[in-house]
Amino acid sequence: MDKKVEPGKSSIASAIENVEVKLSRTATWSGIETKASYGPSDVAGTNYERDIGDPGKYPFTRGAYPQMYRSRMWTLRNIVGYGAPEDTRQGIENALKIGTAGINVVLDTPSQEALDPDHPLLTVDVGQEGCSLPTVRDFEILLDGIDVTKQDVAWHSTMMVYPMVVAMAQKQGKDLSLLQGSHMPDHIQLRLAGWSESIVPTGLGHRTTVDCLEYSAKHSPRWALGCPQAYDIRERGAGAAGEIAIGMAIVNQTLRDLQARGTGVDQVAPSMAWVSGSDIDFFEEVAKFRALRRIWARTMKDGFGSQDVRSQRLRIACHTSGRTLVYQQPLNNLSRAAIQTMAALCGGVQSVETCTWDEPICIPTEGARELATRTQQILAHEVGAARVADPLGGSWYVEALTDQVEADALALLAKIESIGLIKAVEDGMVEGLMDEYNLKLKREMDRGERVVVGVNRFIPKEEPVPQRFSFSQAHTEAHMLRFAQLKQQRDQRTLNDRINTLYRVVQQGRDNFHQAMIDALIADATMGEVWGTVRVATGLPYDPFRVLESPFAYSAA
């Protein structure tokens, strides 16, 4: 180990060894073996027009737009969410002061799982990791004075968020066709990322995704759909090719099911954006973004018959990797996140959220958030990351790596689709792939074959205990009281009627159930009540923890 002085070695010799830089690995972080150098023969089969193309031209390998960041800069995102709506509102205002584009909200873990804050087992989870937003009234408090048809609000959440926002907009008499913002409607990803069958059964989750995309394509064409949410898939346990393969399997299944309902690719794909990670292997990530755009373009055009260039040109929303950041010597995470952000920009993404250095310790402190913003500003203004489109295009290495990531992704995609996505998820095949990936990585680290600085090598001898983010629970307590009061004050008859309509629509299984959810939410049904009703109508227990019974008397159609 680094700490110990081996017998027969002087402490000076050990100290030198501790700081020495050596090549410890010749494969990429995802496991693609690389050569010592690359040359023209490695890309001999490439046809520029067919496989690469200029930026903004099919197959968009080099970027979605001809001028890239000269015509449209990437969006600097800063995600905020903790405690009650009042707490998160304050956090958003602080983030806007530091410099961030728009409003980016993450929900607390109960809200992310469509569970109410008065669940008797989960009160301690309320306000953790995000903002508690169980009712439309809470959305109104969070967004007081903000017009959702004029201001872009990005929701980093899946379950129930879209119907909640639409319910608020409809309640306010807004024109849905002007609705701005985005969310991440991919429920299969939730199933894979630990929500599991108990919270998001694969079939019901997928049906909800398809319903959401269909509803949005019809009613809110300016709303952006972060689908697939491949970030969590990647973080959960996938390499660069795995991210593309699993994400594309979700996209293909979703678009096929939409087509069967009469919603064509060009009605929905222009609103879709890929939610991606940016992992630690710089060149591999650049190659991934390029391979991804090429696969997407060809899939839309050749697979789904798209005629609209907006469907074929993929927009990518990127969050730098949280899993690659480590607790030990946490300031090193500034370097990691800066390089990951640089990879995302060299890969031509449309928005970046740079993780804060204290991500492995706690929810971001404001000082760390400010540094994440500054990282992007340094890249934009000093480093020259925005100047030229696809700056690594034409590098023999990056082109060859792009081809390899693409080939690996297509092979894995074919394997998943030969089983069928839904079955592959339900039966645990996809989760098995993730377990395998994680286990391999862990074993390599345990054996010292894969080095993570501060974790299994160069371990700091003494470290100060890191500071944690903390905030007063006062707003959360008041918020929970307000929630209980709202439930008493509602018009019970309207609520029951709308909940029952929702129950019947879901149970019949023919029609899109989004409007029925929205109508119930407008009548002050809570998130937990609406999703609980959907669960009961599909034969599941109202409460995944099996503690609560539904408060409603349902009547079948």
For residues 159 and 180, what is the distance between their CA atoms, to the nearest angstrom?
18
Q: DSSP letter string over 481-540?
A: HHHHHHHHHS-HHHHHHHHHHHHHHHHH-SS--HHHHHHHHHTT--HHHHHHHHHHHTT-
The side-by-side arrangement of strands in the sheet containing 272-278 is 75-77, 351-353, 315-320, 272-278, 224-229, 182-183, 153-155, 103-105
Q: Binding to another protein (CB under 8 A): which residues in 364-423?
A: none
Question: Nearest approach, Cβ of 530 to another protein (angstroms)?
Answer: 18
Residue closer to another protein, measured from CB, 323 or 504: 323
459 is a site residue for another protein (CB under 8 A): yes
Contact assessment for residue 308 and residue 286, using Cβ atoms and an 8 Å cutoff: no
Determine, following the binding rule CB under 8 A, whether residue 435 of this chain makes contact with another protein: yes
Which one of 113-121, 144-152, 303-311, 340-348 is the stretch in contact with another protein (CB under 8 A)?
113-121
**CA–CA gap between residue 480 and residue 416 (Å, rounded):** 44
Q: Where are the beta strands (DSSP E) in 28-108?
A: 75-77, 103-105
Among 90, 128, 252, 494, binds another protein (CB under 8 A): 128
> Quick one: which segment of 208-216, 374-382, 525-533, 542-550 binds another protein (CB under 8 A)?
542-550
Q: Which range in 13-21, 241-249, 437-445, 483-491 contacts another protein by CB under 8 A?
A: 437-445
Does residue 110 belong to the site contacting another protein (CB under 8 A)?
Answer: yes
Stretches 111-119, 179-187, 239-247, 388-396: which one binds another protein (CB under 8 A)?
Answer: 111-119
CA-to-CA separations, 483 to 135, 494, 524, in angstroms, rounded: 8, 18, 10
Which residue from 310, 189, 187, 183 is spatially nearest to 247, judged by alpha carbons? 189
Q: Site size for another protein, by CB under 8 A?
A: 40
Minimum CB separation from another protein for residue 280, in Å? Answer: 16
Looking at residue 229, the DSSP 8-state letter turns out to be E
Q: Tell whether residue 113 is a contact of another protein (CB under 8 A).
A: yes
Site for another protein in 349-368 (CB under 8 A): 360-362
Asked if the bond preceding 544 is cis, omega within 30° of 0, the reply is no
Q: What's the DSSP call for residue 457?
A: B
**For residue 197, which of 431, 527, 504 has the smallest C-alpha distance?**
431
**Angstrom distance (rounded) from CA 187 to CA 184:** 8
Report the nearest approach of another protein to the CB of residue 20 (Å): 22
Least spacing, CB of residue 304 vs another protein, in Å: 32
Q: How many whole angstroms from its chain centre is CA 473?
A: 28
Nearer to another protein, 151 or 470 (CB): 470
121 or 388, CB closer to another protein?
121
In angstroms, rounded to a whole number, what is the distance separating the alpha carbons of residues 461 and 328?
10
Residue 309 vs 326, nearer CB to another protein:
326
Could you count the other beta carbons within 10 Å of the beta carbon of residue 27? 14
CA distance 538 to 207: 11
Binders of another protein in range 174-203 (CB under 8 A): 193-196, 198-199
Choosing from 439, 474, 478, 481, the residue that interacts with another protein (CB under 8 A) is 439
Query: Using alpha carbons only, how large is the chain's radius of gyration in Å?
Result: 24
Q: At which residue do the structure tokens 């954006």 appear?
A: 273
CA distance 380 to 365: 23
Of 61-69, 122-130, 242-250, 395-403, the window that binds another protein (rule: CB under 8 A) is 122-130
Q: By CB under 8 A, tell whether 455 contacts another protein.
A: yes
Residue list 229-248, contact with another protein (CB under 8 A):
236-237
Which residues are bridge partners to 351 per DSSP?
75, 317
Nearer to another protein by C-beta: 69 or 82? 82
| By CB under 8 A, residue 112 contacts another protein | yes
**Please, what is the minimum distance in Å from the beta carbon of residue 449 to another protein?**
14
8 A C-beta contact, residue 89 and residue 451: no
Q: Which two tokens stand for residue 307?
A: 């005629």
Residue among 232, 185, 230 at smallest CA distance from 211:
185
AA identity, residue 197: E
Closest to another protein by CB, 447 vs 493, is 447
Q: Is residue 125 close enough to count as binding another protein by CB under 8 A?
A: yes
Which of 14, 90, 332, 438 touches another protein by CB under 8 A? 438
CA nearest to 251, candidates 222, 277, 271: 271
| E strand intervals along 426-481 | none
Binding segment for another protein (CB under 8 A), chosen from 268-276, 346-354, 420-428, 461-469, is 461-469
Q: In the complex with another protein, which residue's Cβ is closer, 125 or 152?
A: 125
Q: Could you tell me the smallest distance in angstroms from the CB atom of residue 533 to another protein?
A: 20
> 423 or 443: whose CB is closer to another protein?
443
- Classified as helix, coil or strand, 455 is coil
Residue 326 touches another protein, criterion: CB under 8 A: yes
**Stretch of 118-126, 158-166, 393-401, 475-483 contacting another protein, by CB under 8 A:** 118-126
Q: Name which of 246 and 398 has its Cβ closer to another protein.
A: 246
Q: For residue 138, which amino acid is it?
A: D
CB of 509 to another protein, least distance (A): 26
Q: Are strands 272-278 and 224-229 parallel, antiparallel or unpaired?
A: parallel
Site for another protein, rule CB under 8 A:
109-110, 112-113, 115, 121-122, 124-125, 128-129, 193-196, 198-199, 236-237, 323, 326-328, 360-362, 434-435, 438-439, 442, 446, 455, 459, 465-466, 468, 544-545, 547
